[in-house]
Amino acid sequence: MKKTFWKKYPSHLFYFYILVWIILAIKPVNRADWFLENIVVFIFVPIMILVHYKLKLSNFSYTVITLFLIVHAVGAHYTYSQTPFFSHWGNHKFNRDNYDRLAHFSFGFLLYYPVREVMMRFLKSGRLLNYYVPWAVLISFSAIYEIFEWLIALVVSPQNAIAFTGTQGDVFDTHKDMALALVGSLITMILTFIYKSKNKDE
C-alpha cells in the first residue's frame, strides 16, 4: 500500500493541485487579472507533465513545485496586492501587501532544487558548476518573467496592468522581486550543498 502511494505520489500531488486551482478559480477578486496570472500556469503545467514522462524527478521536487504553484494560485485568486492577512499586516507595517514578495522569494527558494535536478541530467561540468548553473538559470527565469509580465500586461490587458504587475506604487518593485528570487535560490543552493556534502552526494 505504501509503495503504491509513493509510486503514484506525483499524480496525487497533481490532482490535489488541480482541486486547489479549481476552488481558487471560482469568483476571483479580479477575473481579468486572474486570467493574466494563469497564462504562466497554462504554459508551465503542461511542460511539467511532459518533463515527468521524459525525466522523472524526485518526490521532493514535485512537492516543492506544487507548493509554489499553490502560492501562485492564491495570489492569482486574490491578486497579489489584496491577499488576506498579508494585505492587512502589510498595509499596517509597510503600507503595501507583501504577498508578492513572498511569491518571488518562494520562486527562488522552492524551485532551485527541481531546476537543479533537471539540469543535472544534462550538465557534464564540475561539482561547483552543478550548483551555480541551475542558480544562474533560475535567476534568468526571474528576469524573463518580469519582462514577460510587463509585455503581457501591456498587450493583453493594459487596464489591468497595475493589478497584474503588482507594483503597488513602488518604482523599485521589479528590482526587489528579482533580488528576493536571487536570495531565495541562493539559500536553497547553500542548503543543498551542505546536505549533499554531508551525504557525499553530487
Taking residues 130-137, report their average pLDDT: 88
| Pair 32, 157: CB distance under 8 Å | yes
**pLDDT, tens digit, for every residue of 70-95?**
999 999 999 877 887 665 554 545 55
Kindly report the pTM of this predicted structure: 0.83
Query: What's the confidence (pLDDT) of residue 110?
Result: 96
Q: How many domains does the chain have?
A: 1
Position with higher pLDDT, 131 vs 109:
109
Treating both helix axes as pointing N-terminal to C-terminal, what angle do 9-25 and 59-78 enclose, rounded to 10 degrees? 0
**pLDDT, tens digit, for every residue of 172-190?**
677 788 899 999 999 999 9
**pLDDT, tens digit, for every residue of 138-148?**
999 888 887 87
29 burial level (CB within 10 Å; 0-12, 13-18, 19+): middle
DSSP 171: T
Measured distance CA(10)–CA(25) in Å, rounded: 22
Containing structural domain, residue 158: 2-198
